[in-house]
Amino acid sequence: MRKFISDRPEFQDIAWCPGCGNFILITILMETLEELDLSPQQLVIVSEIGQAAKMPHYLKINSFHTLHEKAISIATGIKIANLQLIVIAEGGDGDMYAEERNHFIHAIRRNPDIMVIINNN
């Protein structure tokens, strides 16, 4: 799990509240990536705005931090540009189910081989 932990300074606090479900999600994501024996260079995570979308701040993975309702469409574009990458779109339920719902539905229809993580926060 060590190779996916960000090099942020120890004095820099994590912005999530104690007990937040994001801690569980990031732990599971790092354990899964380690178990799959992937390197950080094989991965890209695209996140939106909000507390849930701060996950790339705490991971040592290529990342793209975007605006509301853009994570899935940008993740799809990254995947099309480089089919070898493992691309993850990540955001909160408000973004993904409300503002980005059309992108979500069309991504399901197109099946661009990206992973979408929706945080129920």
Output DSSP code: residue 96. Answer: I
* Structural domain that includes position 84: 48-121
Cβ-count burial 35-64 (b if 16+ within 10 Å, e if not) = eeeeeeeebbbbbbbeebbbbbebbbbbbb
> Does the residue 34 lie in any domain?
no
Quick check: 10 pLDDT over 70? no
pLDDT tens per residue across span 13-47: 777 787 788 888 888 888 898 899 888 899 999 99
Q: What is the pTM assigned to this prediction?
A: 0.85
What is the predicted pLDDT for the residue at 9?
55
Q: Is 87 helix (H, G, I), strand (E, B) or coil?
A: strand
Output DSSP code: residue 38. Answer: -
> Does the residue 21 lie in any domain?
no
> Does the residue 35 lie in any domain?
no
> Does the residue 23 lie in any domain?
no
Give me the phi and psi of 8, to 5 degrees please.
Answer: -65, 150
12: pLDDT confidence band, cut at 50, 70 and 90? low
pLDDT tens per residue across span 57-114: 888 889 998 887 889 999 999 999 999 999 999 988 888 888 788 888 888 888 999 9
Q: Count up the domains in the chain and report the number.
A: 1
Helix (H), strand (E) at residue 75: helix 71-81
